Structure 1
C-alpha cells in the first residue's frame, strides 16, 4: 500500500503545481512585470523569495517547541515537510485546503489529533499577535508613523492587539503541560488538560520570537527588492516590514480569499498611500506577490525533495529532542 500513497501524493502534488501555475498567470500583471524585469531586480526577487522560504524551517522550529509541551518530540525536518508540502494548496479558494492538507499529513505521520489541534491553535494565536506587534512597531518607527494606517482600521487593530496580548500573557503565564493536570482532583485543571494546558513562558516566547522573525525576514527581502527596483527612499525597511505584517493579518482573516489575494494587496496600497505614489505602490505590491509566489514554489519543491516522496512517519520523530 505504500506505493499507492506515494503515487497518490505525487499526483496531488502535480495537480497543485499545475493549478498554482494557472493561478500565477492570472494573478500577475505580466506587462508590468516585463517593465520591472531587469537583471538586478530578477536576482533580488530570488533573494527575497529565499528569505520568504525561510519561514518554513523557522515555523517548524517553533512548532517543535509547542509540540514538546504536549509530550511529543519531533525533529525540525519532518515538521518542515509537513508545513511545506501543502503550501500551494493555500491558493485554492476557500482558504482551508492548506490547513486540511497539513492536518492530513500530520495525522498520517503519527501526530495525535488533540496535540495537532492544540498546537496549531496556539501557533495561530501567536503568529497573528506577532504580525500585529511587528507591524505596529515597524510602522511607528517609520518616518510617517502610525498615521499611515487607514483611519477606519486603527481602533479595531488596537483592540485586536490588546486582546492578542492578553492571550499571549495567559499562554505564557505558567508552564502547565497536560500530563501534569490530567490526574488533578480539580475539575478545572482536568478541563485545562483536555485543551492542552498552558505552554509556559519558554515555549510561548520562543515561538513568538520565531513568528516575529518571519515577518522581519520577509520585510528585509521586500525592502532590498524595493531598493534595487528604484523605489523611493521613504519605502524603507520599517515600512516594507509593516506593510507585509499587517496585510498578512488581514489576508489571513479574510474568508475565502486564496492566499489573501485582493485583501492583502488592497491593504498594502492603503498603507503605502501616505508614503509613495500610486504607481510605486502598485509596483511594490506586484513585486511582493511575485516574491510570495516564488517563495511558495521553492517551499513546495524543497519539501518534496527533502522527504523524497514519502510521508514522514511517526518513526521520524526525534525522541531525543528537547
Structure 2
C-alpha cells in the first residue's frame, strides 16, 4: 500500500507540474515565440555545458568527501567515474536508480551496505544546505529558510548524526559501537555550497544567451534559482523534472518575464541533460582502476 501511495504521489506531482507548465506555455506562447537568442548565445550555451559538467565533477568530489568522513575513503577518480556513470539514471521513474547504482558500486569496493546507503542519503541533505545558504538572499520566507538550514546543520553534527546512526543500527538488529562520522562536515558543506554556485552560474549563462542582464540581477537570479532547486529536491520527481521548472517560474517571476523564464528553464534542462550524458559517456571510456576485494572489512 505504501509503495502504491508513493507511486501515485510521484506521478501525481509530475502530472501536476506538467499541467502547470503546459498552461504557462499556452498563456505566454506569443512571448515565447518572440524570444531570440543573442548573437553570442553559442558562447554562453557552450560555457553553460562546460560549467554543468564541472558541477557534476564537483558533486562527485563532495560524495567522496562524505565517504571519507564516514571512514571509507575512496580515490577521487573512482568517485567521479561512478557518479558520472549513474547520473542519467536519475530520470528513470522511481528517482532512486542513480543512487542504487552508486551503492552497488560502493559495495563492490568493500564498503558496507549501511555506510554506502548513508553516503547517498546524506549527499542531497548537504546539497540542500548549500542551496538554502544561497537562497537566503532571495527574501522569500526567510525565517522558514533559516529554520530549515539550521535543522540540517544540526542534524549533520556528529553528536546527533551518530546517535541517529546507532538508533538505526539497533532497528536493523545490529549493534554499532562506532559512530558514523568523526568530525563536523564543514568541508562537505562548503563543497555543496560551491556545487550550488556552479549550478546557479550555469543557469545565469542560459539567461545571458537570451538577454543581457545587469550586475544587480545576478544575486536575485542565483538566490531564486537555488530556492527553486531546493524545492525540486524536497518534492519527489525523477531528476526534479517539472518541479524545478514550475518552481523557477514562480520564484523568479519578479526577476524575469514568464516567457523568458520558460525559454531559460527549457534550455537549462537540455543543457544539464546534455552535460550528464557527456559525463556518463566519458566515464565509460575511462578506466576507474582496480577495485579492492568486495569481502574486505567494512564498518
- 1:109-148 superposed matches below 5 A: 109-137=109-137, 139=138, 146=139
Say if 1:167 and 1:38 are closer, same or farther in 2 by CA, change over 3 A.
same
Contact preservation (8 Å) 2:158, 2:182: yes
| Structure 1 residue aligned with 2:183 | 200
TM-score where L is the length of structure 2: 0.73
Q: Is structure 2 residue 260 aligned with structure 1 residue 275?
A: no
Q: Is structure 2 residue 105 aligned with structure 1 residue 105?
A: yes
Q: Which runs of 5+ in 2 are unaligned?
A: 1-21, 26-31, 167-173, 294-299
Aligned residues: 258
Q: Which runs of 5+ in 1 are unaligned?
A: 1-26, 140-145, 182-189, 316-322
Within the candidate set 180, 198, 216, 2:197 is matched to: 216
Counterpart CA distance in 1 for 2:254 and 2:213 is: 12
Q: Is structure 2 residue 291 aligned with structure 1 residue 313?
A: yes
- Alignment deviations for residues 144-198 of structure 1 (CA, whole Å, 9 cap, x no partner): xx1xx3xxx6665443223113224x2389999x9xx9xxxxxxxx96645x433
Contact preservation (8 Å) 2:45, 2:209: no
Say if 1:277 and 1:172 are closer, same or farther in 2 by CA, change over 3 A.
farther
Counterpart CA distance in 2 for 1:231 and 1:38 is: 8
| Structure 1 residue aligned with 2:77 | 77
- 1:163-182 superposed matches below 5 A: 163-168=151-156, 170-171=157-158
- Alignment deviations for residues 16-54 of structure 1 (CA, whole Å, 9 cap, x no partner): xxxxxxxxxxx9x9xx69965666223321211211111
| Structure 2 residue aligned with 1:92 | 92
| Structure 1 residue aligned with 2:9 | none
Say if 1:174 and 1:71 are closer, same or farther in 2 by CA, change over 3 A.
same
DSSP 3-state at the match of 2:286? helix
- Alignment deviations for residues 30-88 of structure 1 (CA, whole Å, 9 cap, x no partner): xx699656662233212112111112332332333332333323110111111111111
Counterpart CA distance in 1 for 2:193 and 2:91 is: 23
Within the candidate set 259, 265, 271, 1:285 is matched to: 265
DSSP 3-state at the match of 1:248? helix
Say if 1:271 and 1:231 are closer, same or farther in 2 by CA, change over 3 A.
farther
Contact preservation (8 Å) 1:57, 1:77: no
TM-score where L is the length of structure 1: 0.69
Say if 1:230 and 1:106 are closer, same or farther in 2 by CA, change over 3 A.
same
| Structure 2 residue aligned with 1:9 | none
